[in-house]
């Protein structure tokens, strides 16, 4: 796949040079996820192709990433199930996590600069202990919902040997 990006770059530069009667001044490549992975590999294989590259969130370890996505969806997508967490609740959770972690870098700017250092207290949106300003008795998470949420935000391990299959997503 990185060869496809390389050839697209080479042919695009040739077409531009022919059309404008001059070569390109600068060449940049920016992509994310699968494209970020291609950018990462493209820079390793064809560094002369670009003057700058942004390889955003390159999806790596895809067999396990895909398995992790499937595993997570088993918990999330059953609308009406006792542990179902709604989009509205996830939005409120996001606000609460930012409330707890945004200022960790000394600036309140709605950016969690170091998500790995963010350790939010998830119990603040549990119906058993709602202390968040964003939750009330109709939006707080039940025990079943809290179990689903904690499962979603924990590492995925193989059930037969406990080996880490894929790490959790960071808060924020």
pLDDT in tens, 56-78: 888 888 888 888 888 777 777 67
Helix (H, G, I), strand (E, B), or coil: what is residue 67?
helix
In the prediction, which pLDDT does 81 show? 81
Average pLDDT over residues 6-34: 94
Residues 22-50 as b or e (16 or more Cβ within 10 Å = b): eeeeebebebeeebbbbbbbbbeebeebb
Averaged pLDDT score across all residues of the chain: 90
15 contacts: CB under 8 Å, gap ≥ 6? none
Mean pLDDT over 115-139 rounds to: 93
Exposure string of 72-87, with b = 16+ CB inside 10 Å and e = fewer, is beebbeeeeeebbbee
Residue 107 has what pLDDT?
A: 93
Percent residues over pLDDT 90 in the chain: 54
Task: Tell me the range of 28-32, 48-52, 62-66 where mean pLDDT is highest.
Answer: 48-52
pTM greater than 0.75 (yes/no): no
The pLDDT value given to residue 56: 84
Residue 1 confidence (pLDDT): 63
For residue 62, give both structure tokens.
């895809």
């Amino acid at each position: 796949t990185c060869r496809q990006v390389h050839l697209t770059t080479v042919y695009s530069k040739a077409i531009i040079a022919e059309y404008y009667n001059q070569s390109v001044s600068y060449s940049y490549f920016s992509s994310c996820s699968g494209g970020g992975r291609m950018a990462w590999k493209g820079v390793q294989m064809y560094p002369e192709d670009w003057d700058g590259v942004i390889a955003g969130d390159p999806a790596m370890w895809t067999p396990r990433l895909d398995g992790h996505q499937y595993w997570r969806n088993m918990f999330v997508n059953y609308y009406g199930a006792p542990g179902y967490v709604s989009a509205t609740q996830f939005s409120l959770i996001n606000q609460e996590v930012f409330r707890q972690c945004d200022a960790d870098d000394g600036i309140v700017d709605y950016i969690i600069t170091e998500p790995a250092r963010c350790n939010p207290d998830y119990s603040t949106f549990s119906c058993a202990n709602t202390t968040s300003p964003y939750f009330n008795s109709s939006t707080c998470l039940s025990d079943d919902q809290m179990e689903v949420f904690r499962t979603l935000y924990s590492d995925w391990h193989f059930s037969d040997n406990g080996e880490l299959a894929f790490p959790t997503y960071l808060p924020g």
